[in-house]
Structure 1
Amino acid sequence: MYNEIEKLFQAQKDIKVISTEIDYSDYIALDLSVANVELSNHNLETAKDYEKFIQNYLDKNKAKIAFGGYLETRNLYKRSTVFKNTNSDERNIHIGLDLWINDSASIYAALDGTIHSFQNNNALGDYGPTVILAHEIDGIKFHTLYGHLSEVSLIGKKVGDVVKKGEQIASLGLPPINGDYAPHLHFQIIIDMEGKTGDYPGVCSEKTLPFYKSNCPDPNILLKIN
């Protein structure tokens, strides 16, 4: 199934999920992993700290959107109990793609589909308002998740509503509504929702990585940013 999905995504063209007026040439890769020693030179504890850090990074590189994060091991989640409790392994491996822009940007459907589910995941460090779309192309079913949205993005939606590729489905949320992060879109591909609605893990543990890597392919295969 994974190989079929990969071939399907490679065949798709002209897909943008945020700020369609911004060309991919104005994007810059951003590494927020534990391997980036530069992060230790900055005091990054709050959403405001990250906003300043990311804006400085964008300005320095003359870019408008920073992207990255798929399969990154991050320290970003240590402040939240969502990602660790006494009965489970720490979840710190990111399995979506983040698109960082300090703006209430417009969010668009990656492909034709229907609204699978939506809800406000309002715990500290969670997605905040979230929309999940269901897609089927050439008999292959999968889902796209859009996290860290504005509260108004959930108004007026109904499960089963049809959406078209490139249709605006939401706007980006600001902290603290968006889970209390610097403004960014968490975009994730999910093959099997495992019966979940309105939410799906966007961060996993090392133990569960093999499953999630298979169930959540690299979104950049679809977006083709670089």
Structure 2
Amino acid sequence: MENFLKSISEEPLKVIDASILLEKYIPISISSENKELNFNISSSKEWQNYIDNYLLKNNAKVAYGGYLEKRDIYNRSEHFSKQKVENQRNIHLGIDLWCSAGTSVLAVLDGKIHSFKNNINFGDYGPTIILEHTIKNKVFYSLYGHLSLASIQHVKEGDKVHKGQIIGALGDNSVNGDYAPHLHFQLINNIENYVGDYPGVCAKKDVEFYQKNCPNPLTLLKIN
């Protein structure tokens, strides 16, 4: 899958506001091993302050990263942490792009609306759109989570979209699962029977399966 993704485009592809230069992107870690996260990680406002200060310090507009990153932030939500320790879902399967609420979200490639949904559990995606792509006879999917409510109000399953087309905007913490504004972007080989949703976090015991089914989006975006 990695070689296939690399072959799709030689140029970096955008999934948020195309006017933001790649020079204004900065990698970030919010893993459980990052000792700089010395604030109340259950507070979306404190996360917002941390992200804002991080971007300001680095003269950046977008902080990105998180693929297969183990995170403590999900411990605040029973949606992720109510299972036994060995089944707790805390390994992130997409990448996050942290930037301002209202930032436009773009279709990464030509495709169509597979499904959409407002995933309203605390700590969940909030408004989410999933696109279906067929390239070189291969079908795969891209997921866009933590959108604004308006992003899913006028879409229909089967609607065609084009690479770079605005499909929505980032939501704020009142609608996006109570996070600092960001896009959760994930690639999926086999979406199974999911509609408007797909696991974005998994337990350690399931990493091997999900790593194969959800390849690293940076292979396609080529940000780094």
**1:197 alignment partner, one of 188, 192, 195:** 195
Tell me the residue number matched to 1:49. 46
Quick one: distance in 2 between partners of 1:126 and 1:209? 19
Q: Secondary structure at the match of 1:91?
A: coil
**2:14 alignment partner, one of 3, 13, 16:** 16
Q: Deviations over 1:49-68 (max 9, x none)?
A: 10000000000111111001
Quick one: distance in 2 between partners of 1:135 and 1:171? 20
The AA in structure 1 aligned to 2:78 is T
How many pairs align? 223
Q: How does 1:1-226 map to 2 (within 5 A)?
A: 2-9=1-8, 11-39=9-37, 41-86=38-83, 89-226=87-224
Q: Deviations over 1:22-41 (max 9, x none)?
A: 111101111000121121x3
Report deviation, 1:4. 4.9
Conserved? CA contact 2:100–2:170, under 8 Å: no
Q: Secondary structure at the match of 1:188?
A: strand
Report deviation, 1:12. 4.7
Q: Deviations over 1:137-185 (max 9, x none)?
A: 0011100000000000001111111000000000100012001100000
Q: Secondary structure at the match of 2:163?
A: coil
> TM-score under structure 2 normalisation?
0.96
Quick one: distance in 1 between partners of 2:134 and 2:151? 23
Q: Which runs of 5+ in 1 are unaligned?
A: none
The AA in structure 1 aligned to 2:190 is D
Identity of aligned residues (%): 50
Root-mean-square deviation over aligned CA pairs:
1.3
Q: Secondary structure at the match of 1:37?
A: coil
The AA in structure 1 aligned to 2:95 is L
Quick one: distance in 1 between partners of 2:150 and 2:69? 30
The AA in structure 1 aligned to 2:7 is L
Report deviation, 1:7. 3.9
Q: Secondary structure at the match of 1:114?
A: strand
Report deviation, 1:3. 4.6
